[in-house]
Structure 1
Amino acid sequence: MTMPPTAAADRLLNLYPVLSGLPADRLAALTQPQAVIHLPAGSQVFAEHQPCQGFPLLLEGNIKVIKLAASGRELMLYRVSPGGSCIISSSCLLAHTDYNARGIAETPLTLLVLPVGEFSRLLVEQAAFRDFVFHLFTDRIAELMQLVEEVAFARLDQRLAKSLLARNENALNVTHQQLADELGSVREIISRLLKGFAAQGLVALGREQLSIIDRPGLQKIAAV
């Protein structure tokens, strides 16, 4: 379904108020119907070694950014939600390099892409936008440092418990393979850990789904 220009502009400015300083004609060009992109869940938003075509501004849905190892295993680096954006995209634009990770639509998406020229122009002309981009770097780097620490030092059961709790829902439609990919592990190990959680009464397992039964119990494991 196409989002009307005024609705797209209102949604954009609500999520990205830093763009409120744009002249009306530039905002209208950015939010014209053909500029609004809709992608189904599971779509590839960008791929490794692909040139960056612009700066994504997410209006609806979630993108997961993942790194693929030579072995074929994946590690989720971070998620992008509405009002945020992707530091890999911005770093590629600033350094004029290709993507070095993949972006996958975790849910159906609605987004706009700020063209390369407009991104560069805003960095030069708008101090507020420049601050937004560099604050984004600061926040994401802190997240990535935490990820490195968890991968290097935390037990996998801790990381799995945190991953389940981070979804903020008790009924999760997720496969063991998806959890393994997210945590940079293999399905067999994740399945064994989940069965252990189930035996402790922390979760209930079903086909391609699980239910959190004892959230405080999972929180204790995550905090160990």
Structure 2
Amino acid sequence: MIKELKDSYGHLFEDALLDEISRVGTFKEVPEGFKLMEIGQYIKVMPLLISGAIKILRNDNDGDELLLYFLERGDTCAVTLSCCLGETKSQIRAIAEMDTKLIMIPIGKMEEWAAKYKSWRRFVFQSYHERLLEMLSTIDSIAFLKMDERLLKYLRDKVNVNKNNVIHNTHQEIAYELHTSRVVISRLLKNLENQDKIKLHRNNIEVISI
């Protein structure tokens, strides 16, 4: 675990903190689709991503999902940090976008490390800043972008996160994450195919040029 930890976080944390993380953290591997966190759940641990990706979603009052942002290697979730510090219930759902490796940190260590390690404090503040920018980007896309533009952004994000131009999501799954209907998504995807930007297959979407 210590090698993978240093590869992902060695440029951020000093050796003493890396040693503490390896000593108290729990290494965890989860498959694609695994639910790491549920809305309304009390959070006892904080994840540090070693590899893979996690998508963070939120429900509206009708129970429909909205994709907020992705977490990748070297990231943690600012919402998780906030819930840990405030001992409040989670307001988000976290699902593995692909097979993912994490180190789970007991929440009791967060305040201790914030006082003890400057690099940890910097990491926490930077995580808040980055996640806030991503949420603002999501809000902007909902408020200012048309659905076809939001879909293009979604496809670009998927390609970047998965490092693969083949997207294994159904039209219904995309509709859930973009908070719209499957019919709308299917129509927009067909339009993109007609523009030679994507190619639709039976079980996946191949991104050609977006």
TM-score normalised to the size of structure 2? Answer: 0.90
Distance 1:182 1:208 in 2: 18
Give the counterpart of 2:166 among 162, 166, 171. 171
Identical counterparts, % of pairs? 30
Write out aligned runs for 1:49-128 (5 A).
49-128=40-119
Larger radius of gyration: 1
How far apart, in 2, do the equivalents of 1:144 and 1:200 lie? 30
Cα separation, partners in 2 of 1:75 and 1:27, compared to 1, 3 Å: closer
C-alpha displacement of 1:66: 0.3
Q: Which amino acid aligns with 2:196?
A: G
Q: Which residue of 2 aligns with 1:13?
A: 6
CA-CA distance at 1:201 after TM superposition: 2.5
Partner Cα distance (1:81, 1:70) in 2: 28
Please give the alpha-carbon distance, in whole angstroms, between the structure 1 residues aligned to 2:18 and 2:131: 31
Gaps of 5+ in 2: none
Shift of 1:86: 0.4
The reply on whether 1:190 has 2:181 as its aligned counterpart is: no
Whichever residue aligns with residue 26 of structure 1, its letter is E
TM value normalised by structure 1: 0.85
Match of 1:205 in 2: 200
State how far apart, in whole Å, the 1-side matches of 2:142 and 2:195 are: 24
Corresponding letter in the other structure for 2:182: R
SS at match of 1:150: helix
Superposition deviation, residue 116 in structure 1? 1.2
Listed as ranges, the gaps of 5+ residues in structure 1 are 1-7, 219-224
Q: CA RMSD in A?
A: 1.7
Q: Which amino acid aligns with 1:76?
A: L
Q: Deviations over 1:168-219 (max 9, x none)?
A: 4332222112211221222111011111112222222112211223x1xx3x
Distance 1:170 1:23 in 2: 37
Deviation at 1:142, TM superposition (A): 1.1
